[in-house]
A and B are shown apart, each in its own frame.
Chain A
């Protein structure tokens, strides 16, 4: 008897809930988060999920977007590129998300690109990449080559370096970046023999690959370091590194053991941010250079507030398995954060969540004052932002050496520099 009554009340409660739910759903807008939360890329991409959830909470606390609370739909790409496309499809067709924030590797972006284009979705992509792409359905808050590699080279040229050794991991981002850099260096009057690492040419003699490449997980850098040592013997030499992830550890250990230092031959790395630093031996990297559109060490009220709010959010977060100790902020995280606010501003200007109208607003140019300074969306789906050159310190932070303000994001750089 008692039991049936209990059952009765709970059914009633359920019925009440189910009538309530649709009403509630109208007050939320679904937003997709598409990152690898397992597999090799999880180390880097989980941080982006964290910062996105933080941003949604921050916006929801202030009333949401167009009066609607953001309801995140988090899916795991599992470092598996075909799976990224499937998950993207699920987000767009089943969950009908208004916008998706996600992807880290270029190959994952390339695999979801057709899905977003055929479903007329909207993706915000936050990580430095090689350019040569402009999808009507993707907004690239990421650093284009002209917002990372070429300013870094400008800085080195300004400091009097004359020889450049190109080194990278063997995949599309380093290969393309180095080809653009080769053209850029030649256009700045650096002769071909002062660009090290070797060239590959096709039958017609055109250079199709510049620099030295090692596979992921390569451990033996003896030969390459001894080559750099000989190359740098004449002085005024620097290394431009697009080595990815943990191959930096054996490289920098060997580099230090060969007696090469930041004073004799500095290395500028495009893939080491504050977040990667957590797994690298700091001592061997001190004095080496980095170039990003954000550093945690930027001294501005906006950045200090961002860091403090993020840490406070982390401390009381109940996301399962979230890492709370030793967290830092880095450029891909801030570009994810900025992406959400750019989308929010565009939606509010358009007065609707409709993808086409939101993109039209973004193309007209929307500005947001982020932790790294003002960013402005451009007609070509890239973002104008400040670029910083920094030097690594023993505590894993960067000392900012130089700032280039409001650098335009241009994806198509290959072939635009004319050699002298």
Chain B
């Protein structure tokens, strides 16, 4: 019922505008066809697109969408001038399709009168740039005000709010009366209040300030500062008071948002540290192996993700050591392609675990009682692995695209919760629970703990310590691979990926207390939150990090064994 009424209002509004132009009316089709060919003159393109506003042509939106997504082509017509066309979708043997003129919806004829057929891969695309897409968005947003999807409505309304066009106030007020969704309603109120600030009528401006004080949106700061300046000049006391009150409400809201935002970002940074360090907490913390190649095991996971991504797309040609090696691609698209990351996670674990096993069998097992030699040997291994990455994948970074289900966000009360960040927190929780369960609830875990506490005694009791060592190291390496798979979603994948995380990983484990899983968790989250808070307070990313490192050095002076020191009665230690 309500909706129907709104549609009526909208159609009436738009209709009025439409009638006014009826004399020189061009259809949306004609205007878009005219705009698409002007590819060298983006300003006139923008003007033409803007002229579509209020035309009320139902074809406007689908045509603009098709233009934006590359469905419109530019083909030379009979007189040699370029004509905007769409393709009929009737591919022949040469994959050519009939070109349909955009403006009159008829097949394009060449000089001889035959219809022109072009191939979608070789024809010139009508391109768009961001200023045209902004104009398109402004046009489509107005019609999206009544969209059934709340998110679409939200986008449309915030766009209108930013425009702050007083003439659009009635439309917004009409929307407010019928809006049911709480979030959208707030956005409409915000847009109305912001637009009211532009009103020539002082009373309306005052109304706007009062409304802004109540809803205190972050976007209002600039507008309010402007009002304060103007009203100070004009000596408008009540308006000045109201604007100042509104501004302080906005600022106190910003403080709240920053507080919660910082805590969330701290947890997410802590989770990244935790994911990176947990493999090391096992190989270094439990087994006592100083594995400088841990970073390269992370890189193995990241490169595995890259390879899996390529196999889901067009495949991959590698030329390691002068040999040509090609991996076939599955050419998937859409949601199947987006799921590549789900496959990449276990693959990264397996690959890194295999490399870890080889490392353990080949190098580390000879060095269990000689930590200094193992440090040097694994450092050498890390250099060898880095060179192998360079030889196989090249010294440039490789591109890993984030699936769309990791590159969006929830915004709750202006605090941004990025999906990649939410994912890493959940991921870290799962890994910690999994590791804890493996160590304390499974027979293997029992053996691991026995061997780590007293290798000789465990061997005397018939535990195959060699095998347990191997499996433990493999598991720790696999966890590093998982970390790499995740890091590929937020940063670079290149030969030196491992180098940039190895220090953080050791730092986290040492601060937490070598040998303590819970210590690693606590130190990772602690470092994360402190780092982000300092960044927020100091406004400088470098200074925050320096202070954290300084604090860690002081802390280790005071408690050399870390947060959670393991107590042992073993004489060895």
Looking at B129, B402, B411, B489, the one whose CB has the most chain A CB atoms below 10 A away is B129
Partner among B127, B129, B272, B541 whose Cβ is within 8 Å of the Cβ of A218: B541
| B265:A222 contact, CB within 8 angstroms | yes
The answer, yes or no, to whether A193 is at the interface (CB within 8 Å) is: yes
CB neighbours (8 Å) of B401 from chain A are 281-284
Minimal Cβ-Cβ distance residue in B for A233: B219
Is the CB–CB distance between A220 and B541 below 8 Å? yes
Q: Which of B130, B394, B489, B542 contacts A262 (CB 8 A)?
A: B130
A205 to chain B, nearest CB (A): 18
Q: Which chain A residues numbered 246 to 304 have a C-beta less than 8 Å away from chain B?
A: 246, 249-250, 253-254, 256-259, 262-263, 266, 278-284, 287, 289
- Residues in A whose Cβ lies below 8 Å from that of B384: none
* Interface status of A348 (Cβ within 8 A of chain B): no
Q: Is B261 an interface residue (CB 8 A)?
A: yes
In the assembly, what is the distance between CA of A159 and CA of B135, in Å?
A: 11
Could you say which of A66-74, A105-113, A224-232, A365-373 contacts chain B?
A: A224-232
* B396 contacts chain A at the CB level, 8 A cutoff: yes
Query: Which residues on the A side are within 8 Å of B395 (C-beta)?
Result: 42-43
Query: In B415-444, which residues have CB < 8 Å from any A CB?
Result: 416, 418-421
The reply to whether A259 and B396 form a contact with Cβ atoms under 8 Å apart is: no
Residue pair B223, A234 in contact (C-beta under 8 Å)? yes
Knowing A218-B541, A226-B261, A234-B219, say if A281 contacts B532 (CB, 8 Å).
Answer: no
Interface centre among A224, A253, A263 (most CB of B within 10 A): A253
Task: Known A223-B541, A234-B220, A246-B397; judge A253-B411 contact (CB<8 A).
Answer: no
Choice from A170, A226, A246, A250 contacting B542 with Cβ under 8 Å = A170
Contact between A259 and B400, CB atoms less than 8 A apart: no
**How far does the Cβ of A377 sit from chain B's closest Cβ, in whole Å?**
30
Q: Quick check: B541 and A214 within 8 Å, CB to CB?
A: yes
Q: Which of B137, B407, B500, B535 has the most CB of A within 10 A?
A: B407
Assess whether A344 is interfacial by the CB under 8 Å rule: no
Decide: B218 and A233 in contact? CB cutoff 8 A: yes
When distances are taken between beta carbons in the complex, the residues of chain B under 8 Å from A222 are: 265, 268-269, 418, 421, 532
Q: Is B449 located at the chain interface by the 8 A CB criterion?
A: no
Residues in A with CB closer than 8 Å to B536 are 223
Whether A279 contacts B494 in the complex (CB less than 8 A), given A235-B219, A258-B409, comes out as yes
Q: Is B42 an interface residue (CB 8 A)?
A: yes
Q: Does more than half of chain B's interface fall in helix, strand or loop, or is it mixed?
A: helix
* Contacts known (A219-B491, A223-B532, A246-B397); A259 close to B409, Cβ less than 8 A: yes
Q: Is the CB of A226 within 8 A of B492?
A: no
Query: Which one, B399, B409, B490, contacts A280 given CB within 8 A?
Result: B399
Contact A401-B399, Cβ < 8 Å, known A257-B418, A259-B408: no
Given the known inter-chain contacts A234-B219, A259-B411, please indicate yes or no for A279 contacting B127, CB distance below 8 A.
no
Report the minimal beta-carbon distance from B463 to chain A, rounded to whole angstroms. 41
A224 touches B541 (CB 8 A): yes
Interface residues of B in 4-50 (CB under 8 A from A): 42
Chain B CB within 8 A of A63 CB:
no
Contact A236 B162, CB 8 Å, known A42-B395, A224-B541, A282-B399: yes
B539 an interface residue at 8 Å Cβ cutoff? Answer: yes
Q: Is the C-beta of B406 less than 8 angstroms from some C-beta in chain A?
A: yes
B338 CB to nearest chain A CB (Å): 12
Please report the C-alpha to C-alpha distance between residue A262 and residue B402 in the assembled complex, in whole angstroms. 18
**Does A323 sit within 8 A of B, measured CB to CB?**
yes
CB pair A230–B218 under 8 Å, yes or no, is yes
- When the two chains form the complex, which single residue of B225, B492, B535 contacts A223, counting CB atoms closer than 8 Å? B535
Q: A246-B492, A249-B397, A249-B492 are in contact. Are A257 and B421 (CB under 8 A)?
A: yes
Determine the chain B residues whose CB is within 8 A of the CB of A391 once the complex forms: 129-130
B272 cross-chain contacts in A, Cβ below 8 A: 220
- Tell me, yes or no, whether A217 is within 8 Å of chain B by CB: yes
Q: Contact: A230 with B254, CB < 8 Å?
A: yes
- B residues less than 8 Å from A262 (CB atoms): 130, 133
How far in angstroms is the closest Cβ of chain B from A82? 22
Q: Among residues 385 to 406 in chain B, which have CB atoms less than 8 Å away from a CB atom of chain A?
A: 394-402, 406
A215, CB-defined interface residue at 8 Å: yes
Q: Using CB atoms, name the residue of chain B closest to A246.
A: B492
Contact A226 B416 (CB under 8 A): yes
How many angstroms from the CA of A253 to the CA of B225 in the assembled complex? 32
A114 in the interface, Cβ–Cβ < 8 Å? no
Which residues 230-256 in B have Cβ within 8 Å of A in the complex?
254
Asked if A279 and B397 make an inter-chain contact with CB atoms under 8 angstroms apart, the answer reads yes
The minimal Cβ–Cβ distance linking B410 to chain A, given in whole angstroms, is: 10
Q: How close is A69's CB to chain B, nearest CB, in angstroms? A: 32
B117-144 CB contacts (< 8 Å) to partner A:
127, 129-131, 133-134, 137
The answer to whether B418 touches A254, judged by C-beta atoms less than 8 angstroms apart, is yes
Compute how far the CA of A180 lies from the CA of B461 in the bound complex, rounded to whole angstroms.
74
Q: How near does chain A come to B460, taking the closest CB pair, in angstroms?
A: 47
* Interface of chain A: mostly helix, strand, loop or mixed: mixed
A217 to B, closest residue via Cβ: B500
Among residues of A, the one whose C-beta sits closest to the C-beta of B319 is A325
When each residue 186-221 of chain A gets 1 if its CB lies under 8 Å from chain B and 0 otherwise, what string results? Answer: 000000010000100000000000001111011110
Q: Give the residue name and chain of the B residue nearest to A280 (CB).
A: B399
Q: Does B478 contact A (CB under 8 A)?
A: no
**B127: chain A residues within 8 A (beta carbon):** 393, 399
Q: Is B79 an interface residue (CB 8 A)?
A: no
B186 at the A/B interface (Cβ < 8 Å)?
no
Write out the residue numbers on chain B whose beta carbons fall within 8 Å of the beta carbon of A289. 130
A400→B491 CA distance, assembly (Å): 29
Q: Could you give, for residues 529-546 of chain B, a 1 whenever the CB lies within 8 Å of some chain A CB and a 0 otherwise?
A: 000100110010110000
Known interface pairs A258-B416, A262-B130; A234-B394 also in contact (CB < 8 Å): no
Residue of A nearest to B268 (CB): A222
Q: Provide the residues of chain A in CB contact with B418, threshold 8 Å.
A: 222, 254, 257-258
Near A by CB (< 8 A), chain B positions 256-276 give 257, 261-262, 265, 268-269, 272
Say yes or no: B129 contacts A253, CB within 8 Å: no
Please, which residues of chain B bring their CB within 8 A of the CB of A250?
490-492
Q: Contact: B408 with A257, CB < 8 Å?
A: yes
Q: How far is the CB of B490 from chain A (nearest CB, A)?
A: 6
**A143 and B134 alpha carbons, distance in the complex (Å):** 30
Most buried by B among A193, A224, A254, A282: A254
A253 to chain B, nearest CB (A): 6
Residues of the A chain whose Cβ atoms lie less than 8 Å from the Cβ of B92: none
Contact A253 B541, CB 8 Å, known A230-B254, A234-B162, A399-B127 = no
Contacts of B411 in A (CB 8 A): 259
Judge whether B185 is part of the interface by a CB distance below 8 angstroms: no
A235 touches B162 (CB 8 A): yes
A170 to B545, CA, bound (A): 15
Decide if A253 touches B489 in the complex (CB within 8 Å).
yes
Is the CB–CB distance between B399 and A198 below 8 Å?
Answer: no
Tell me the complex Cα distance, A313–B176, Å.
65
Top 6 nearest A-B pairs by Cβ distance?
A: A235-B162, A279-B397, A233-B219, A234-B222, A257-B418, A250-B491
* Chain B residues proximal to chain A, CB less than 8 Å: 42, 127, 129-131, 133-134, 137, 162, 217-223, 225, 254, 257, 261-262, 265, 268-269, 272, 394-402, 406-409, 411, 416, 418-421, 489-492, 494, 500, 532, 535-536, 539, 541-542
27 contacts between A and B (CB under 8 A): A42-B395, A43-B396, A163-B222, A218-B541, A219-B492, A219-B500, A222-B265, A222-B269, A224-B541, A226-B416, A233-B218, A234-B162, A234-B222, A235-B219, A250-B490, A253-B407, A257-B402, A257-B408, A262-B130, A263-B130, A278-B396, A279-B397, A279-B399, A280-B399, A282-B401, A287-B129, A391-B129
Q: List 18 additional A-B contacts (Cβ < 8 Å) besides A226-B416, A258-B418, A259-B409.
A: A42-B395, A170-B542, A212-B541, A213-B542, A215-B541, A217-B500, A222-B269, A223-B265, A223-B532, A235-B219, A246-B397, A249-B492, A253-B402, A253-B420, A256-B407, A282-B399, A399-B127, A401-B129
Binding site for B on A (CB under 8 A): 42-43, 159, 163, 170, 193, 198, 212-215, 217-220, 222-224, 226, 229-230, 233-236, 246, 249-250, 253-254, 256-259, 262-263, 266, 278-284, 287, 289, 323, 391, 393, 399, 401-402
